[in-house]
Amino acid sequence: MTDKKNDSSDLMDKLVAMCKRRGFIFQSSEIYGGIGGFWDYGPLGVELKRNIKSAWWEDVVRANDNIVGLDCSIIMNPKVWVASGHVGGFSDPMVDCKECKARFRTDKIAYVSVSKGENVLLEAAVEADDDNEAVAAAMAAANSKTRRRIENAGDELNTSVTFLSKIPEGETGSCPKCGGELTEPREFNLMFQTYVGALQDSSSTAYLRPETAQGIFANYKNVLDTSRMKLPFGIAQIGKSFRNEINPRNYTFRSREFEQMEIEFFCHPDEAEKWYVYWRDTRYQWYIDHGLQSDKLHLRDHDPDELAHYARGCADVEYAFPFGQSELEGIANRTDFDLKAHQEHSGRDMTYFEDELWKTEAEKYSADKFDGDKKAAKKAAEEAKSAMPYRFTPYVIEPSGGVDRATLAFLCEAYTEDEAPDENGQMQKRVVLKLHPRFAPIKIAVFPLVKKDGLPEIAHKIHAEAQTAGLASFYDEKGAVGRRYRRQDEVGTPFCVTVDGQTLEDQTVTVRDRDTLAQNRVPIDEVVNYVRQRIIK
């Protein structure tokens, strides 16, 4: 069996086509021509995405006594976004083309020049994230004669890439689409605005949340007061976020509406570094454990000059998508920046009091230690209480992942082309989605070999039993069994169960493994358990 994994340059095209054909992902409002940066998940896509979110929730919230969940509203008091810095600073610099009206991020327009000696062979303006992508885009846009001249020029080429954001003041760039003149750069806030209530003026302006994190910070005290959590503890949330991205692209990777799965983990400042390392490594391992085992997964620590002014450390879990290596999840030590900002803007106390620690110290402040002066004892106690180590603002470690990006990475990694024997033993090409069994939209497919001799009845019984046991099951009796296998391979079903002639003789069925293609005979009454044990790994 020869495996052809994600090395093909047209993987993205094949994956997008498969996702549409099999009902994983559709363009939003496709019947009206779609809308840029918005996507819909079809019947299989919604199962895949739910399974990823459930796995995260089980591993993060249910498996840890000191992590609780939250589900906040998408629209919050706009003061939240002033305090968080999003109203003032959540923007990208952008330019518009005066001719074709296209809009671009200033840091994404690159000017590529390729020359040999005095001869300029190629000059192009393109949209790209980095130098390599810019050169590739310029080459792709060049005509075949130019490409040949460059390919034949050997080592003597001089290639330069300059991003619009770096060109000297006074010089103007040109539009990558039509070559037209560009406007001066200006800041474009990425938050979607709306109005709450009947009035539509600045007093009723509100925002669709651009991250789930701020709902957690705004509820930090509520959770602390109601759930009796002690440091260190975390609050987790999965939910939709919205960003009016200037250039949504790369399928679902950069969308305008997307889902995040975020943890805000509150800890003592002295322990922040320890917890940062813990979460960085734990989250990286989670992706490996769920199938991103190839050398395409990377953990990248940010250089100090990349860090936000309040952050002490930040690392990205990155995946080498077919369109380039990009972030799946960021893990950051956000210090006490957010809680202090909300304390300042809301006037609410966001500090944490170490009451256990205080209990052991409290007797030092009894009246008899102050010659019976109760007032003096109380004053000294209050002063001691408000000082470190008893009262402080916790630090926050934030693992923040994108559900859609994770889904896309798992799809890219799983998409495989290989060969498998058909019912006549002839090798046939197949597309197989080698998803982790926990994520597979369908866990078990049940087929009667033929539609007679009581085989459908037995297959229906197994199908119903699997559903009762909580396994997503699919019943199929149409077409040759080889084709039925291939249909399930393409959507990642880990096990297919076939009821055949031998079943009537010895009460066993064939269980076929999607990845190894091994076929085992298993007694009918054990088959659901057999599959379940192999899925809950």
CB 207 → ligand GAP: shortest distance, Å?
A: 14
Candidates 92, 336, 338, 404: give the one binding ligand GAP (CB under 6 A): 404
Asked if residue 84 binds ligand GAP (CB under 6 A), the reply is: no
To ligand GAP, the closest distance from the beta carbon of 236 in angstroms equals: 12
Residue 404 CB, shortest distance to ligand GAP, in Å, is 5
Query: Which member of 176, 185, 402, 456 binds ligand GAP (CB under 6 A)?
Result: 402
Residue 243 sits in the site that holds ligand GAP (CB under 6 A): yes
First-residue to last-residue Cα distance in the chain = 25
Burial class of residue 153 (count of CB atoms within 10 Å of its CB; 0-12, 13-18, 19+): middle
Measured distance CA(49)–CA(388) in Å, rounded: 44
Number of residues assigned to the chain = 537
Piece of the chain touching ligand GAP by CB under 6 A; list 115-123, 199-207, 321-329, 493-501 = 321-329
Rounded-to-5 percentages of helix, strand, coil across the chain: 40, 30, 35
* 220 or 365: CB nearest ligand GAP: 220
Looking at beta carbons only, is 312 or 463 nearer to ligand GAP? 312
The residues with which 474 forms a beta bridge, in sequence order, are 445
Q: Binding of ligand GAP at residue 338 (CB under 6 A)?
A: no
Q: How many CB atoms lie within 10 A of CB 264?
A: 29
Point out which span in 116-124, 328-336, 497-505, 508-516 binds ligand GAP (CB under 6 A): 328-336
Q: Smallest distance, Å, CB 452 to ligand GAP?
A: 50
Which of 12, 328, 397, 496 touches ligand GAP (CB under 6 A)? 328
Q: Which range binds ligand GAP by CB under 6 A, 44-52, 109-117, 273-281, 401-409?
A: 401-409
336 binds ligand GAP, rule: CB under 6 A: no
Distance between CA atoms of residues 232 and 228, nearest Å: 12
Backbone angles phi, psi at 184, to 5 degrees: -65, 150
Site string for ligand GAP, 195-234 (x = CB under 6 A): ----------------x-x---------------------
Contact 356, 231 (CB under 8 A): no
Q: Closest approach of Cβ 537 to ligand GAP, in Å?
A: 25
Give the C-alpha distances (Å, rounded to integers) separating 135 from 112, 142, 160.
Answer: 6, 11, 9
Amino acid letter, residue 181: E
Phi, psi (5° rounding) for residue 416? -140, 140
Q: Assess 326 for contact with ligand GAP (CB under 6 A).
A: no
Provide the CB-side half-sphere exposure for 338 (13 A, CA): 27
DSSP class per residue in 168-217: PTT---B-TTT-PBBPPPEEEE-SPEEE-SS--SGGGEEEB-S-SHHHHH
Give yes or no for residue 254 binding ligand GAP (CB under 6 A). yes
| Distance in angstroms (rounded) separating the CA atoms of residues 96 and 246 | 11
Total binding residues for ligand GAP by CB under 6 A? 19
- Residue 406-435 contact track with ligand GAP, rule CB under 6 A, x = bound: ------------------------------
73: three-class secondary structure by DSSP? coil
Q: Which range, of 62-70, 252-260, 285-293, 480-488, touches ligand GAP by CB under 6 A?
A: 252-260
What part of residues 262-301 is at the interface with ligand GAP (CB under 6 A)? 262
* Interface with ligand GAP, residue 401, by CB under 6 A: yes
Report the residue from 237, 255, 498, 510 that binds ligand GAP according to the rule CB under 6 A: 255
400 binds ligand GAP (CB under 6 A): yes
Q: Take residue 492 and report the two structure tokens written for it.
A: 């990642």
CA-wise closest residue to 435 among 408, 401, 461: 408
Cβ-based nearer residue to ligand GAP, 439 or 485: 439
User: Does 78 participate in binding ligand GAP (rule CB under 6 A)?
Assistant: no
Residue closest to ligand GAP (Cβ): 402
CA atoms within 13 A on the CB side of 332: 21
Q: In this complex, which beta carbon is closest to ligand GAP, that of residue 36 or of residue 501?
A: 36
- Residue 427: CB atoms within 10 A of its CB come to 12
Q: Measured on CA atoms in the order 343, 348, 349, 350, is the torsion positive or negative? A: negative
Which residues here bind ligand GAP, judged by CB under 6 A? 211, 213, 243, 245, 254-255, 258, 260, 262, 327-330, 398, 400-402, 404-405
